[in-house]
Structure 1
Amino acid sequence: MTMDIERRTLLGLAAGAAVVLSAPRASAQTTADAGRAGPPDPAEIIGLWPDGAPGGQGVTVTPIVPERSTDPAFHDRYAQYTTDPILTVFRPRRPNGSAMLLIPGGGYRWAVLDKEGYDVARVFAGSGTTCFVLRYRLPADGWAAGADAPLQDAQRAIRLIRSRAADYGVDSNRIGVLGASAGGHLAGLANARADATYAATDAADAVSFRPDLTVLMYPVATMADPYVHAGSRTQLLGETPSPERIAAYSLEKMDWRGAAPVFLLHAIDDASVPVENSLQLLTTLKAGAVPSEAHLFQEGGHGFGIRLIRGKPAQVWPDLVRAWAARLDFPL
């Protein structure tokens, strides 16, 4: 995560087609597939905020979506300086009644769209789940909500999906969230936090913003030393956050009583986000009587998503998630 990027350089933006659904405006932050052999991006886009994201008066960043892949067979893009958060919709051929909000990671510096977003969405859409990949705002970009700006987007996304459940053939009580790395931290906040982080804007905000099931992949759970992912903490809370601020955003320090069931998966050899992030959180979930399951893999490293673990033991993780969710009457 050491790539040096000019904040106002428009890299990787392209003019891919997009379809706007009803009131929320569509973002111009879409990318094209020209010259790529992999599957095209879905054209169905939902803008989160009908009148613009809240608290943007001090925001001066310009969105970029660079492409890191040099292999024409697949994309590896990330979204940085997002100003108009969006959902990219993956509709299955045969909907099974469930929906999943996918929140990719990126250390709260950017969001890796393909590896932990679109790639994962295709896997679960392939078995019938309607998937929505969230492109969210980042906390250090000047938003009035600061560290809560990404959570505003996650809460709004869940409400939009739930309020439109019938349009997608989805049960409004079967809306899950899957987050990876820093996206796992955000997904955890969406599950654990019971407070609305923004003022209601329309009828969609009348429904619940909390998920019915949560999957956390190698999550950035703690903001405290010695197991913190320092880059995520700096982007979220600044260079020198107070102990109180650190505790307030550490998932293992939160009150999880009444939260939705949680599935944790992590590689023991993760050198970026130590496995103790998941282990500490699991202890908290058990204490809070949250139905939980955890799977630890001997190898896999960090950020493996789908593509990077082919042929390795961790490649079974989607099937493990499906089996667990099936026991909760939640088809994936």
Structure 2
Amino acid sequence: MKAVFVEAAEQISIKDIEVPVLKEDEVLIKVAVAGICGSDIHTYKGLHPFRKPPVVIGHEVAGEVVQIGESVTNFKVGDRVTVEPQIGTGESEGIMTGNVNYSDERLAPGMGDWLGTMAEFFVSPEAQAVKLPDSVSYDQGVLVEPLAVGVHAAYKADIKSTDRVAILGAGPIGLLTLIAVKAKGVTDIVVTDVLDYSLDVAKEMGASNVINIKDNANWIQEAKLTLDKGSFDKVFITAGVPGIINDSLNLLRKGGRVVTVAMFHGQQSVDIEQLQQNEKEIVGCMTYNRPDTEEALEIIAKGELDVEKVISHKLPYQQADKGFTIVNKKQDNSVKVLVSFE
């Protein structure tokens, strides 16, 4: 089968490799489409904490089951599926609490012998596969996993419909967090970014206001002025840039909550006086759990919020190198780029 490899930093290749042999509790998926995620870009740049080149890249996927292991009972050949691409292993806090994302030893595609999703075929344990309703297309199905990130962030924020929300970063995760928040009934949502075209997509997807913060020293005050009064109840950080923690605290009302969704590299400073004296909160957020995946699929299946607006490009797998380049360099008004194997 053909598979897309990150060979080394910023080096993509397509290789012929053997189709993985199924274990008894696994399903073989003929991949229709895979997504390029921000964390894949971290791998592409050699910065990911545990997914290191050379590796078959990708963890977002939708496709058709073409073979099942001997002990599989919940799936049959022909089922259309996506995958929740994480497994909690070992005796760990994740196992004890039921939160897979807390697991001390967490397995994901591109780790160990679990190959990534950017290949003609992908193997998933039965427990990680999720059936897609007939009404959900493969292009929508591949967005279930990144939308689950936004759903989990909304859960960690304890979102209420009356909340005033700021989302700092209009990349795919920021935009899908916007969808997750809107699904909770929130109407006051300000999205910030440095790219006008990303902010245009945020507006199309339902942001009440957007602000380009590039060379804008007054953007925090500008954001607050979009509200009838006061500051934001909840702030989501979906871009891990320097200084963004304190920026988010400055946006927040007393007693409000910041949720950190983005991947960060290096240290961030925190204005502890602002945090303590105003009883503000900073909450960590890591991937998702099965209820988040189920809620993400439900949001998509309802069809009331157009998640597909986040998709800017769909390229054949032979052009995966181009896809990674345009996402990494933010070329050609790229937002979410899909890689097709159909």
Question: Same fold by TM (over 0.5)?
Answer: no
The normalised TM-score by structure 2 is 0.30
Which structure is larger by alpha-carbon Rg, 1 or 2?
2
The normalised TM-score by structure 1 is 0.30
